[in-house]
Amino acid sequence: MQPVLIGKEKLEVVRSHIPQELYLLAELVSLEGARLYAVGGLVRSSLLGLPISDIDICSAILPERMIALCREKGFTVVPKGIDFGMVEVHIGGESFEHTTFRSDSYAEGGAHRPSEVRFSSSAEEDAFRRDFSVNAMYFDILSGEVLDPTGGLADLEAGLIRTTSPDPRTVLADDGLRIMRLVRFAAELGFDIEPASMAAARELVSNLADISAERIRDELNKILLADVKYGERSAERVLHGLTLLREVGALGVILPELLEGEGLEQKKEYHRYDVLRHALHAASEAVPALPLRLAALLHDVAKPRVFAETGKMHGHDVVGAELAREILRRLRYDNKTIDRVVFIVHHHMYDLDNAAKDSTLRRTFARWGYERSLDIAEIRIADVHGSGVITGKVATAERWKRILAEMKRENAPFSENDLNCSGADIIEWLGIPPGPAVADIKRRMLAHCAVHPRDNTKEGLKRLAFDICPKSGG
């Protein structure tokens, strides 16, 4: 096919992102009578002025021949998916994933892996086995020519994510995960989804049921962090992705519990949105850390069930914590992430009316620990801003952060490990045996020193031990 013209300025922008090591490989490929192309993210992101992460390359060179060529030149090469034509080439300090041009065939049901792969000599044929037009533009490393078989350049200009095939069903039916990738790219780039592609995604969304929980989890994570993919926080990008998940029907497959909140209205003085949309807005408002955004997405997940049983929403935090645990386990999240999210969901209603005394907050924060206490402050901000009613500073969270900062400056303890004494010290001071009494004394020391951090010294804690247990020791 004929190359397309992208203009000298854009050509130089793409060239500026080509590592010198790639020219060495391109010369090697040219000696075999083939051309080496950069494809996918490097071309797309360069043209959009976005940062480059992974560099994907492709050619007609078969994987076995690519391995032999690289090894002849002393390049390190790692067969990553040899059956799919993929090898990883290391030159200098750079690594590149090379894929041989190919066409793919898939079995029924939308399972992720191709059932048959046929290698090809045609970039055009290779383009149509890819998912979206903006990922199917090819930049010839040596000549600077651009191949655009599926119209990706026009879609970049229009801000659209569109499948490579004129019939989107043929792309989305092959691999159910592409439905989530469709949403993810739209969120990361701030693009819309082309109408026919959106319609096909809605029609085929049930194919997500054939995809492993781990792959769904990974795409969900990327959607929740879509705004920081290219380095800039934007609530609109995350909300765009989550809203598209709902519109395409994917939430009903991967997070059906959230859909239970659709249409469940809340008190208008506090909430502009129903429970579902509040969750989406809260997640988009949370700081860009995965556990915080997951917690914001799930913090009210139990409201519909609690309301159905009691006619009220009181206690949704406690029920929601266990429901969140079930959901995250189903999606194969690691235990550390699950525990952090569950803790946030369980405690997100703490001191809602901002009535707790400073001393009470200090003791609570010491018991929770600094990081988890800060999580609760952050989730309060996301919760309030996600209501659609209140903007600006959130009084409770501002107060909590101030107290946490004071405790840090004063070297207040945030765990029993921060106390300047051990259980053995307490046993020696008081002449008591090891057991529950020692643990109780340490808990009370922590509570005291959270409010009075100057007492967290060996001498101060010894005096405190005798105050707590005056009849022990001598």
Residue 425 DSSP label: H
User: Which residue is associated with the tokens 């995250």?
Assistant: 328
* Residue 76 shares a structural domain with residue 210: no
The tokens of 180 are what? 């989530």
Residue 284 in any domain: the answer is: no
* Residue 87 shares a structural domain with residue 111: yes
CA–chain centroid gap for 352, Å, is 28
Q: Residue 418 half-sphere exposure, CB side, CA atoms within 13 Å?
A: 22
Report the mean per-residue pLDDT for the chain.
Answer: 93
pLDDT digits 0-9 by tens, 384-395? 999 998 889 999
User: Which residue is associated with the tokens 């009470």?
Assistant: 360
Long-range Cβ pairs for the range 396-399 (8 Å, 24+) = 396/351, 396/352, 396/354, 399/354, 399/361
* Cα 43 from Cα 34, distance rounded (Å): 20
Residue 98 DSSP label: E
Point out the domain boundary residue: 381, 409, 437: 409
Are 208 and 28 spatial neighbours (Cβ–Cβ below 8 Å)? no
- Confidence at residue 278, expressed as pLDDT on a 0 to 100 scale: 97
Higher pLDDT, 119 or 53: 119
- Confidence at residue 80, expressed as pLDDT on a 0 to 100 scale: 84
* Residue 96 shares a structural domain with residue 172: no
* Residue 145 shares a structural domain with residue 196: no
Confidence tier at 111 by pLDDT (50, 70, 90): low
Residue 113 in any domain: the answer is: yes
- Confidence at residue 202, expressed as pLDDT on a 0 to 100 scale: 98
Residue 191 DSSP label: P
* Residue 152 shares a structural domain with residue 163: no
Residue 325 in any domain: the answer is: yes
* Residue 16 shares a structural domain with residue 141: yes
* Residue 218 shares a structural domain with residue 339: no
Residue 386 in any domain: the answer is: yes
* Residue 81 shares a structural domain with residue 145: yes
State the average pLDDT over residues 53-67.
93
* Residue 446 shares a structural domain with residue 307: no
Point out the domain boundary residue: 132, 157, 182: 157
The tokens of 19 are what? 């590592």
CA–chain centroid gap for 409, Å, is 32
Residue 264 in any domain: the answer is: no
What CATH number is attached to the domain comprising 234? 1.10.110.30
* Residue 330 shares a structural domain with residue 240: no
Residue 270 in any domain: the answer is: no
pLDDT digits 0-9 by tens, 278-336? 999 999 999 999 999 999 999 999 999 999 999 999 999 999 999 999 999 999 999 99
State the average pLDDT over residues 218-233.
93
* Residue 420 shares a structural domain with residue 378: no
- Confidence at residue 472, expressed as pLDDT on a 0 to 100 scale: 58
Long-range Cβ pairs for the range 77-86 (8 Å, 24+) = 83/117, 84/114, 84/117, 85/117, 85/119
Residue 300 in any domain: the answer is: yes
Are 130 and 163 spatial neighbours (Cβ–Cβ below 8 Å)? no
Task: Domain of residue 166: give its range.
Answer: 159-254
State the average pLDDT over residues 360-366.
98
- Confidence at residue 134, expressed as pLDDT on a 0 to 100 scale: 97
Burial class (CB within 10 angstroms; exposed 0-12, middle 13-18, buried 19+) of 218: middle
Number of domains in the chain: 4
State the average pLDDT over residues 350-369.
97
Point out the domain boundary residue: 139, 157, 175: 157
136 has pLDDT over 70: yes
Closest by CA position to 236, among listed 282, 289, 190 = 190
- Confidence at residue 474, expressed as pLDDT on a 0 to 100 scale: 44
Closest by CA position to 314, among listed 324, 306, 305 = 306
- Confidence at residue 158, expressed as pLDDT on a 0 to 100 scale: 97
* Cα 445 from Cα 456, distance rounded (Å): 8
* Cα 244 from Cα 237, distance rounded (Å): 11
* Residue 152 shares a structural domain with residue 190: no
128 has pLDDT over 70: yes
SS3 147: strand
Residue 67 in any domain: the answer is: yes
What CATH number is attached to the domain comprising 17? 3.30.460.10
123 has pLDDT over 80: yes
pLDDT digits 0-9 by tens, 324-355? 999 999 999 999 999 999 999 999 999 999 99
* Cα 276 from Cα 450, distance rounded (Å): 38
Closest by CA position to 305, among listed 293, 291, 317 = 317
- Confidence at residue 266, expressed as pLDDT on a 0 to 100 scale: 86
Residue 4 DSSP label: B
State the average pLDDT over residues 212-237.
94
- Candidate from 111-115, 322-326, 375-379 with smallest mean pLDDT: 111-115
Q: Is the pTM of this model over 0.75?
A: yes
- Confidence at residue 106, expressed as pLDDT on a 0 to 100 scale: 63
State the average pLDDT over residues 432-440.
94
